[in-house]
Each structure stands twice: as C-alpha cells, then as structure tokens.
Amino acid sequence: MLVAAAVCPCPPLLVPELAAGAAPELDTARAACTDALGVLAAARPDRLVVVGPADESGHWTYAQGTAGSFRGFGVDVDVRLGRAAAGQETLPEPSRGPLPASLAVAAWLLERTGWADAPIEGLAVEPLTVERCIEIGRDIAARSERVALLVMGDASACRTLKAPGYLDERAEPFDASVARALGKADMAALKTLDIQLAHDLKASGRAPWQILAGAAEQADLSGTLLYDDAPYGVGYLVATWS
C-alpha cells in the first residue's frame, strides 16, 4: 500500500553544475524537494518507486544502482539510482541505456539527501492513457506493504513568451488546477486531467501524476503543496502526500 508520495519537478537545471551562474534561482525549489524527500523517509517505506517521463516512447524499468549522467547537457556529473547493495531486491536490468533525464534528476536528489531508507525501483513512462496510468499505479501500490512514490514531472512549459513552448493562455489555469489537486491529494482531479491539453502545454508530469492517483486509491493520505512557481516559463510543483 502507498504510505507516502513526493512530487518534484525534473528539469536538469536543478543540478547546480548545469545551471552554473543561474543556480541560485532554483535554490527554493531544491530546498522544497529536500523537504519532500524527508517526508518519504519519515514514512519508513519498504520500497521506493521513482516514476518519471521517458525520454522516448516506451515503458522502461530501471534497477537500483542504474547509472545516469548529465554529460549530454555539458556537465561532468554522473549519478546512480541508489546504491547497488548485496541482498537488496532490484528490478531486472533496464531494457535499454542509462537513466532518462527525469530519473537522473531523481537520482541526483536522492544522492543529495543521502537516501538509504529503502530499496529503489525506477520507472520511466511515455504519455500513457489515463486507464493505463491508473493500472500501473495500482500495481505499484500492491508490490509491498509500505510503498513510497517519488513522482517526477513538470507542469506546463508555456507560461511566458520565452518559455520552451511559447506563451499559451491556458497554461496558468492548467498549472493552478494541478497545484490544487496535488495540494489536496485530490485523486479524482488528477485522473480527469485533459490529456490533449497537457500534451499541448508540454506538461511532462501528466502521466506520472495519474500513476500517483492510481497508487493512492486505497490509501488515506493528505496533501501539502510545498512549491509552486514558473521560473523560465515552466511550471514547477513540489508536493507531498502522507
């Protein structure tokens, strides 16, 4: 059963070496992510499942200890999805390649906070249907008596003229609706997010958020919104369910 969840954004710019001189602009977001991971640790889970958007089409699983890197973004920073330790249960080796960007950011956050509280599994997903997301979430929740979720994904990328997706007037109200749903642990609101609108607004977190909604169906969790802003014209949200 799901006992806690943390929702974090997944821009590689969270890694200070990549952001360089602009790194302080995301200090508040980093601090919120650290606080969110603290909630996961406090829940004392038997297993941590990290879910994020895939870099390509597919549905890929990643074992504890899988390597990732930000070298493709021009910085010499390598990460691993937790420590590969003898006797720890892991998933099979990934179907292809290193960690996708979203899970590499998660791995960096976990390393930064010294995560050692439970074995880790990684899952990267393409923009699946709502029904498939719910199904995956239910399966995750059934894997252990005490499961925690780290859900990676950004809100819209269309909040300003300089945003990656340019300005779209629908972006701000969409992000506000997601922030309310995450802050209230509102599973119904997450399940009814408009798939086409999320696609148009380049909201990479849509499928991971709906996986969270499926995983939380049998849990009695309360939500807290820790961070809600749009630096660089992209909506970044940090929330906890516990």
Convert the pLDDT of each residue in 120-179 to its tens digit. Answer: 999 999 999 999 999 999 999 998 899 999 999 999 999 999 999 999 999 999 999 999
Note the pLDDT of residue 225. Answer: 98
Whether this prediction's pTM lies above 0.75 is answered by: yes
For residue 94, pLDDT over 90 is answered with no
Q: In the chain, where are the structural domains located?
A: 2-241
d(CA 55, CA 79): 17
Q: What is the mean pLDDT of residues 53-61?
A: 84
Q: What is the mean pLDDT of residues 4-16?
A: 96
Note the pLDDT of residue 22. Answer: 72
d(CA 49, CA 27): 25
Residues 6 or more apart whose CB falls under 8 angstroms from that of 125 comprise 51, 52, 53, 54, 59, 60, 133, 136, 207, 208, 211
> What is the rounded average pLDDT for all residues in the chain?
92
Q: Does domain 2-241 have CATH number 3.40.830.10?
A: yes
Q: What is the mean pLDDT of residues 100-113?
A: 96
pLDDT one-digit tens code per residue, 184-225: 999 999 999 999 999 999 999 999 999 999 999 999 999 999
Note the pLDDT of residue 173. Answer: 98
